[in-house]
Amino acid sequence: MQIDLFTAAPASAPQWLGQQVALLPGFALDRVELLLPALRQIVLAAPFRNMITPGGRTIAVRVTNCGELGWISDQRGYRYSPVDPLSGQPWPALPPVFSDLAQAAAQAAGFADFIPDACLINSYLPGNRLTLHQDRNERDFSQPIVSVSLGLPATFLLGGHERADRTQKVGLQHGDVLVWGGEDRLRFHGILPLKDGSHPVLGARRINFTLRKAG
Ligand code: MD3
Ligand code: FE
């Protein structure tokens, strides 16, 4: 193979963080130039916003969605909705570049035929964190979740099945993809407060999007 000194760092082999949790370092790098314009279109139609927890707290990480279903939170609870509560309109469609990436990443981690119908997009500013939680609003826990990290690096906390279980820290860089499912699907996880910094492409923020089969 010819190595081109001027191309970005290539994707490397999957790193297994658990029985069915794979980190695919740099897996999205060669598609970033296609992902960002798609993201820009989504955010024009469905801007990032702060949601409120059922307990009345504001979630610091700002979110939006694309796809048939979007994750929302308000006084009535956490759930998936086909409609953006801000606009009353359906969420923007899932761009093929998102679903193709998710399908390819799922395949690379051993999950065949992953067809996502929901994509939650998180925007972190320095200082923002995501406290330890489980993702349990989806209908079918046998389906994997694929997450893509862009912009500033973050430290991901991977816990166990109980909130009090010990956690491992995993660094997530621009272009990294995580895929998890099976027995690891309901593990607690979170993101440590984002460190200040400036990313050459995205500036002082981190964007993460998670593709799911929610319905
Ligand atoms: C669960 N997002 O949106 S990636 C979320 O980076 C969320 O913004 C985080 O948690 C973020 O719900 C983390 C998601 C992730 C990655 C690996 C896992 C969740 C996981 C492995 C096991 C269980
Ligand atoms: Fe989560």
- Express each pLDDT in 86-127 by its tens digit: 999 999 999 999 999 999 999 999 999 999 999 999 999 999
Residues with CB under 6 A from ligand 1: 21, 120, 122, 130, 135, 147, 156, 158, 178, 180, 184, 187, 189, 191, 208, 210
Q: Which of 213, 168, 209, 215 is nearest to 190 (CA)?
A: 168
- Spatial separation of the C-alpha atoms in residues 59 and 53, rounded to whole Å: 7
Atom of ligand 1 nearest to the CA of 210: 3
- Binding-site annotation: residue ranges for Fe cation: 133, 135, 189
pLDDT tier at 12, thresholds 50, 70, 90: confident
The residue whose C-alpha atom lies closest to atom 11 belonging to ligand 1 is: 208
Q: What is the CA radius of gyration of the chain?
A: 16
* Average pLDDT over all residues of the chain: 94
HEC profile of 80-129: EECECCCCCCECCCCCHHHHHHHHHHHHHCCCCCCCCCEEEEEEECCCCC
The bound ligand whose nearest atom lies closest to the alpha carbon of 178 is: 1
Task: Give the torsion sign (CA, 62, 56, 211, 127).
Answer: positive
Ligand 1 atom with minimal separation from the 122 CA: 8
Q: What's the rounded Cα separation, in Å, for the pair 106 and 48?
A: 26
Do 108 and 27 form a contact (C-beta atoms < 8 A)?
A: yes
Element (DSSP H or E) covering residue 189:
strand 189-191
Pairing mode, if any, of strands 206-212 and 145-151?
antiparallel
Distance 10 CA to ligand 2 centre (A): 27
- Please report, for residues 6, 74, 208, the alpha-carbon distance to residue 189 in angstroms, rounded to integers and kept in the order given: 36, 21, 14
Instruction: For residue 184, give the ligand 1 atom closest to its CA.
Output: 22
Whether the predicted pLDDT of 3 surpasses 80: no
CA of 190 to the centre of ligand 2 (A): 7
**Residue ranges of domains in the chain:** 2-212
Q: What is the CATH number of domain 2-212?
A: 2.60.120.590
pTM to 2 decimals?
0.94
The rounded percent of the chain whose pLDDT value lies above 90 is 90
Tell me what pLDDT residue 140 has. 83
Q: How far is the CA of 209 from the centre of ligand 2 (A)?
A: 10
Query: Ligand 1: which of 134, 162, 178 to mutate, judged by most atoms within 8 Å of the beta carbon?
Result: 178
Using DSSP, state whether 188 is helix, strand or coil: coil
Residue nearest to atom 20 of ligand 1 (CA): 189
C-alpha of residue 155 to centroid of ligand 2, in Å: 14
What's the rounded Cα separation, in Å, for the pair 122 and 143? 21
